[in-house]
Structure 1
């Protein structure tokens, strides 16, 4: 390898993009979000290709369409199992978080309760998910009623997402109240010509703005994800395409969040 090629290789290896990629793929959450995106995008494509075949009145479809349909179905199934393996045993983490949340004192009781319900729901979901993995793909455990265990897990996930939606809405309401207080304080500061108070108000307004944006994003993501267990439990009558699209969108949002964390740690 000549010096120019070596220099280019070193530059590529030490670039910010490469460092960000290495940091991102080194995070379990980052890999999970990529697998989730592949899973729900494949689910969406399975629905789209299936509907296209039905519209054209060809259930079997062309050879190419049938091949793509089979490929996306395999990717969806493979990513589902892969994600189950990656999060196996994660229910212990949510149990720990639940206990810590309940032990925290001096917090907003409503926010504390909703946060505890979210973690309890995720504990149930992850526990049922791990049992399903052991009894299904790994065949290490025999369950008398595997579908019932899966439904219990879906209910836990549903409860977790509902509590997350309520928590985000509650935080948005608190931020709105705080904004009203800040506007009154700023008017008084401007009348008094207090430069120090003006700077403090500006800092507080920035914090409230960031908090509102985060709570709004959490509300949207949780509301979209809510369609997945609701559809699975038969509580929501929507087609597979909308559910898959919701999962695809929230997967992209999750990837953005993990990328931001990875970039901040560089």
Structure 2
């Protein structure tokens, strides 16, 4: 095995975020398989094992994130000083909501292991409300960033078209150039802003999960698991390659 790959695996595994993302991926793979196998004959034993696996990965994630709420509160103190008003508001409020979401998650974990006695459904719904608020704020930020980069690219291409018209003085040539550039704008924006679009896909895939918990949506367990797998794969990729992580975040 390549030494660089081994070093990267060791580095990834040494990070709490890396282990938590892997657990999340395995949790949603388990949920997807539960939905896929549900109702099939002679699958009762496998379904029981998958339920235990999903619960185990969920509990492990809660433990790995213990104390993480303080990190997000500290992050909010940093993002509140960003110059861009939209980024300042969305990122700061997102981090505050995520801090409360994780704090409540700690209490749910304590209830599950028998340390305290809580109304689990009530606390789970409260946690989901903070989580969905976090995701909505993240999506607003992503859409705002996408709008900004597209506007910037459109201005660049419009300037190029004008220069092409001036140099060639040929209206037919100008129309061809304009049609070609329209197709290139989207590709160029995506290629140069992969972290932004990956973050958008991740948040868009995640948002139905708390929505289902709160009863706003009704999706099958298989669909919910698939969405969780998609967002988890992106999450793993951003830890594996920090260049794919959206900044600031």
Q: Distance in 1 between matches of 2:153 and 2:211?
A: 34
Task: Tell me by how many angstroms 1:135 deviates.
Answer: 2.2
The residue number in structure 1 matching 2:76 is: 98
Matched, 1:42 2:27: no
Q: 1:129 aligns with which of 97, 102, 105?
A: 105
The residue matched to 1:215 in structure 2 has which SS?
A: helix
Q: 1:250 aligns with which of 221, 231, 237?
A: 231
* Deviation by residue 1:192-221 (Cα, 9 ceiling, x = unmatched): 9xxxxxxxxxxxxx9965553222211111
For 1:161-240, what aligned pairs fall within 5 Å after superposition? 161-186=135-160, 212-240=193-221
> For this pair of structures, how many residues does the alignment match?
225
User: What TM-score does the superposition give when structure 1 sets the normalisation length?
Assistant: 0.77
User: What TM-score does the superposition give when structure 2 sets the normalisation length?
Assistant: 0.82
8 Å contact from structure 1 (residues 169, 215) kept in 2: no
The residue number in structure 2 matching 1:149 is: 123
The residue matched to 1:234 in structure 2 has which SS?
A: coil
For 1:25-104, what aligned pairs fall within 5 Å after superposition? 25-51=13-39, 53=40, 61-62=41-42, 65-102=43-80, 104=81
Given the superposition, is the C-alpha separation of residues 210 and 240 from structure 1 closer, same or farther in structure 2, using an over 3 Å criterion?
same
Q: Distance in 1 between matches of 2:235 and 2:86?
A: 26
Structure 2: where are the runs of 5+ without partners? 168-186, 245-249
Bigger CA drift: 182-191 or 250-259?
A: 182-191
Structure 1: where are the runs of 5+ without partners? 1-11, 54-60, 193-205
Q: 1:140 aligns with which of 102, 106, 115?
A: 115
Bigger CA drift: 151-160 or 251-260?
A: 251-260
The residue matched to 1:181 in structure 2 has which SS?
A: helix
The residue matched to 1:243 in structure 2 has which SS?
A: helix
Task: Tell me by how many angstroms 1:146 deviates.
Answer: 3.0
User: Any runs of at least 4 consecutive aligned residues in structure 1 with deviations exceeding 6 A, and if so which?
Assistant: 188-192
Instruction: Name which one, 1 or 2, has greater alpha-carbon Rg.
Output: 1
* Deviation by residue 1:12-44 (Cα, 9 ceiling, x = unmatched): 5x7222112111111111111111111000011
Q: 2:93 aligns with which of 113, 117, 136?
A: 117
The residue number in structure 1 matching 2:4 is: 16
Task: Tell me by how many angstroms 1:142 deviates.
Answer: 3.2
8 Å contact from structure 1 (residues 114, 167) kept in 2: yes
8 Å contact from structure 2 (residues 195, 243) kept in 1: no
